[in-house]
Chain A
Amino acid sequence: MGVWVSFFAVIVLIVIPWVGAQGAGQYLFGIVIPYVAVLVFILGFVYRATKWAKTPVPFKIPTTGGQMKSLPWIKSNPLDNPSNNAGVIARMALEVLAFRSLFRNSKLELREGPKLDYASNKWLWIAALAFHYTFLVVFIRHFRLFMEPVPGFVGLLESVDGFMEVGLPRLMMSSLILLLAALYLFLRRVAVPQLRYISLAADYFPLFLIIGLVSSGILMRYFIRVDITSVKELIMGLVSFRPTVPEGIGVIFFIHLFLLSVLIAYFPFSKLMHAGGVFFSPTRNLPNDNRVKRHINPWNYPVKVHTYSEYEDDFREKMKEVGLPVEKE
């Protein structure tokens, strides 16, 4: 169900600028919506992050995948179970840059016998790495449209990315890998019954949105060409706060821009926020020093305590009368 709802939602999002980006509508889709989307993205991102930051962590979570640091003759695992901040930073860096928790993904199978079988399953990890890194490359490549003069690293990246020199404009490998990886991430959700069962519209929608975004970009670069100079003129107008809409930009550009606007405006309120959320993961960002430093529950209520010695002070005479032993005479 979710898959069809998301699919048609994205189709509608493609049709809206297709119909609307004519004449004066180009100001709406070329200027107003992108500005609003960027604003929503930044404010929404800060809002979500501060909301998370306000949530107290009552205790440290030591159930991480490695031996904690204890006695010197027990070999500890400083990366999976760090006892200090340096270890936490290394663990977080590996998680963010190399998706370590996906690397540990395993497949569970019930075989004949009956026999339970666990096997390593790296496909998700490989596809996720390919997806995120090519998306980053594509994002950086777009800086040729955001910056004037174009910074040198963009040209360098393009020459590596277009190394194969297929066609003109040169085929960028990253675009193709990005599309294939996104398609794989979608197909695994529909092909694997267990995954299909737990997948919701909130999982399919961003995937379709990104597939739509990438496809419109590829179409615009290689098939339905637009005048790139006018496109840059429009974008430079946006980033220098002197917005203009040059004549004669094809509608495919407005579809691409609208899908992007929807994506970034939707970003802070969706699962895509894992980009910021990964830094808030308690099992990743807390050092396991439970027995070295006392972690005080931030919402601890100041408990009124009544110690035994105070109790004895209150009732000493009565205790003596009935013959109970007291610690202080």
Chain B
Amino acid sequence: MYNKGTIITGLVIFVVLFTSPFVLGLVTSGPPPEPELTAKAKQAKQCVEVKEFMVESHMQLLDDWRNEAVREGKRTYVATDGKPYTVSLQNTCMECHSNKSKFCDQCHNYAGVDPYCWQCHIAPKEKS
């Protein structure tokens, strides 16, 4: 092998960098988050749409809500099951999910998501 020193150093740096998430994962990884439902949310049984849809696509629903409400003034959303909802983050969503830090933030922090809802909306004050 020629230029042993340089090449082995380079390879070691490459392997260490590439495997660093595995090493860090062993040290730091915790259990996945469990967003907490408030009593009111539990009682309602179902959110605006079914759970799977809400988990995967709530942000797109919120985006549609925002665009329809702000640009077209459409303030009522009719869910797939025919139930009407008032289009409002603060008054409809946060009414049940009033525990932002125990509900929204749980997964958002875990997945490194920084939603810009709260640039315009006022985050609800939580009773601890």
Residues of A participating in the B interface, judged by any CB pair closer than 8 Å: 41-42, 45-46, 49-50, 53-57, 143-150, 154-155, 158-159, 165, 167-170, 225-230, 232-233, 236, 238-242, 246, 248, 250, 276, 279, 298
B11 at the interface (CB under 8 A from A): yes
In B27-45, the 8 Å CB interface with A consists of 28-30, 32-33
Does more than half of chain B's interface fall in helix, strand or loop, or is it mixed?
helix
Query: Which residues on A sit within 8 Å (CB–CB) of B114?
Result: 155, 158-159
B70 within 8 A of A: no
- Chain B, interface size category, equals 35 or more
Q: Mark B8-22, 1 if CB is under 8 A from A, else 0.
A: 001100110011011
Q: Which of A146, A158, A228, A242 has the most CB of B within 10 A?
A: A228
Chain A, Cβ-Cβ closest to B25: A239
A148-B28 contact given A54-B1, A229-B111, CB 8 Å threshold: yes
Check A232 against B4 for contact (C-beta < 8 Å). Answer: no
CB of B61, distance to nearest CB on chain A (Å):
9
User: Which of A45, A143, A148, A225 touches B57 (beta carbons < 8 Å)?
Assistant: A225
- 30 of the cross-chain contacts (CB-CB < 8 Å) are A42-B15, A46-B11, A46-B15, A53-B1, A54-B2, A56-B2, A143-B21, A145-B111, A146-B21, A146-B25, A147-B24, A147-B28, A148-B28, A148-B30, A149-B109, A158-B114, A168-B59, A168-B62, A168-B63, A169-B59, A225-B60, A226-B56, A227-B56, A228-B113, A230-B32, A232-B111, A236-B32, A239-B25, A240-B25, A279-B10
Could you tell me which B residues sit within 8 Å of A by CB distance?
A: 1-4, 7, 10-11, 14-15, 18-19, 21-22, 24-26, 28-30, 32-33, 52, 55-57, 59-60, 62-63, 107, 109-114, 116
Contact of A239 among B2, B10, B29, B52 (CB under 8 A): B29
Select B52's contact among A41, A49, A168, A248, beta carbons within 8 Å.
A248
List of B residues within 8 angstroms of A49 by Cβ: 7, 10-11
CB distance from B94 to the nearest CB of A (A): 17
From B114, which residue of chain A is reached at the shortest CB distance? A155
A298–B11 touching, CB < 8 Å: no
- B2: A residues at CB distance < 8 A: 53-57, 298
Give the chain B neighbours of A46 by CB distance below 8 A.
11, 15
Q: Are B60 and A148 in contact (CB under 8 A)?
A: no
Cβ contacts under 8 Å, A149 to chain B: 28, 109
How many pairs, one residue from A and one from B, have CB atoms within 8 Å of each other in the complex?
Answer: 107
Distance from B49 Cβ to chain A, minimum over Cβ atoms (Å)? 12
Chain A residues near B113 (CB-CB < 8 A): 144, 169, 228
CB-nearest residue of chain B relative to A150? B112
Partner of B14, one of A45, A50, A230, A238: A45
A146 to B22, CA, bound (A): 8
Q: A residues within 8 A CB of B63? A: 167-168
**Do A225 and B56 touch across chains, with their CB atoms under 8 A apart?**
yes
A53 & B111 in contact (Cβ 8 Å cutoff): no
Q: Is the beta-carbon distance between A236 and B111 smaller than 8 angstroms?
A: no
Q: Which of A155, A169, A227 contacts B55 (CB 8 A)?
A: A227
Inter-chain CA distance A42–B14, complex, in Å, is 9
| Cβ–Cβ < 8 Å partners of A150 in chain B | 109, 111-112
User: Which of B21, B52, B59 gathers most chain A CB within 10 Å?
Assistant: B21
Name the contact of A229 in the complex, choosing from B1, B10, B22, B107 (C-beta under 8 A): B107
List of A residues within 8 angstroms of B116 by Cβ: 165, 170
